[in-house]
Amino acid sequence: MLFELRQYRTRPGKREAWVKMMEEEIIPFQTSKGVVVVGSFVGEDEDDLYVWIRRFDSEAERERLYEAVYESDYWKNEIAPRIPEHLDRDRHVITRMEPTGKSVLR
């Protein structure tokens, strides 16, 4: 099992719109393809921070789901073109993690 901790920085004044896009479009689309979204968060003291965590059973599953999501016409034509207006992609931090034996997230 592996997790992705994905930390994004929104453009000035765009976090609320980004959260709406995530909650109403991106997360439902990805979960419809089989992606497990463990959580979605905003920074308490950082008004441009958005964080979400995804879980995959294996590297093979992650690769399969990446293809199902990011190679789809819907992602390429409807979602991806709108992302740059919301996010500073140069500031993304994506961390792959494995849970420890006592982790409640599994």
> Which CATH number does 2-97 carry?
3.30.70.100
d(CA 106, CA 87): 29
DSSP state of 99: -
d(CA 45, CA 60): 37
Residue 106: is its pLDDT beyond 80?
A: no
On whether the CB atoms of residues 8 and 106 are closer than 8 A, the answer is: no
Report the mean per-residue pLDDT for the chain.
97
DSSP3 helix / strand / coil % (the chain, rounded to 5): 45, 30, 30
Q: Count of residues for the chain?
A: 106
Domains of the chain, residue spans: 2-97
The confidence band for 99, taking pLDDT boundaries of 50, 70 and 90, is very high
Summarize the confidence of residues 86-99 as an average pLDDT.
Answer: 96
Strand (E) or helix (H) holding 65: helix 59-70
